[in-house]
Amino acid sequence: MNRFQRIVFAGLLLLYALSAFLTYTFFIDQMALSAGVPLPETEISPLVLGLAYAGIVIVFYGLLGLIGSWFATRLELPGIYSLDGNFRRWFVIPLAIGIACGLLITLGDLLFSSINGFGRLVHPPFPVSILASVAAGIGEEILFRGFVFGLWAVLLNWLFKRFNRRSLALWSANLIAALAFGASHLGTLFVFTGSSTLNELNPILLMEVFLLNGMIGLAAGDRYMKDGLVAAVGFHFWTDIVFHVIWGLF
C-alpha cells in the first residue's frame, strides 16, 4: 500500500466512523423504533455512544483493512484501488453497475414479497438509510471483500498453485465471501420476523436473502478484483442508495 492508497483508505475509514457517530448519536431512537426493539436502560449518553462506536470502527476496521491490503499484495490484486485505473473505473463503472444492481434487487424484492411469507424487505428509516448506505458500503467491503475474500483467496491460491488455477481460487473465494455476506443478514431477519432459529424462517424468504445479497457480493468481488476496494465500495454504496434509500422512500 503506497502513501496515497493509505490516505484514501484513511479517508474511507474516517467517513465510516463519522456515519457511525452520527447514527448512534442522533438516530439511535429512530433505529430502535423502526426495528421494534426497545432500547436497553443505560446511563450512557448518545454522544458517548456515538464516539465509542466511531472508535471501534477506526480500530477494528482499520486492522481488517491493513490485513486485507496485505492479502491483496500477496495475490497481486489492486488492493485499495487500481494504480493503472482512472476516474471511469473508480466511479463511473461502479455507479452504473450499482444502479443496475439496485434496480434488479428492487424487482426481486417485489417478486418475492408475495410468496416469502413476510412481504417486502425492511429498509432503515430516512435519513438513517443514507448513513447506513455509507457504513455498509465501506464496512462490509472491508470485512467481506478485503478480509474474508482475501483470506480464502490466499489459502485457495496456495492450494491450487501447483495446478495453475489462480482464477479458480479467486472466484471460489469470491463465492465464499458472497455467501458469508448473505449469511450476515440473517440477524436482521431474526429481529424482524421474531424467529430464533433457521427452521422458523420461511424457506423462500431465506432463499431471497441469500440470492439478492449473494448477487451484490459476487458483483462487489468482481469490482474488487479488477479495480480495488474503492470500486467495490462505490458499487455497494450506489446499490444501497437505489434499494434502501430511494426504494425505501416508497
Q: Is the pLDDT of residue 40 over 70?
A: no
The model's pLDDT over 215-229, given as tens digits with 9 standing for 90+, comes to: 999 999 999 999 999
The predicted pLDDT at position 85 comes to 65
The pLDDT of 79-106, averaged and rounded, is 90
The pLDDT of 48-65, averaged and rounded, is 96
Mean residue pLDDT across the chain: 92
CA distance 171 to 163: 15
Q: Is the pLDDT of residue 239 over 70?
A: yes
Q: Give the relative orientation of helices 3-26 and 229-240 as an angle to the nearest 10 degrees.
A: 30
The predicted pLDDT at position 6 comes to 92
Peptide bond between residue 127 and the one before it cis (omega within 30 degrees of 0)? yes
Q: Is the pLDDT of residue 39 over 70?
A: no
The predicted pLDDT at position 34 comes to 67
The pLDDT of 56-75, averaged and rounded, is 97
What share of the chain in percent tops pLDDT 70? 96
| DSSP structure string for 96-128 | HHHHHHHHHHHHHHHHHHTTSSS-SPP-PPTTH
CA 140 to chain centre: 3
The predicted pLDDT at position 184 comes to 95
The model's pLDDT over 123-176, given as tens digits with 9 standing for 90+, comes to: 999 999 999 999 999 999 999 999 999 999 999 999 988 777 899 999 999 999
The predicted pLDDT at position 110 comes to 96
Q: Is the pLDDT of residue 53 over 80?
A: yes
Give 72: exposed, middle or buried? Use CB within 10 Å, 0-12, 13-18, 19+.
buried
Task: Look at residue 228 and give its three-state secondary structure.
Answer: coil
The predicted pLDDT at position 98 comes to 98
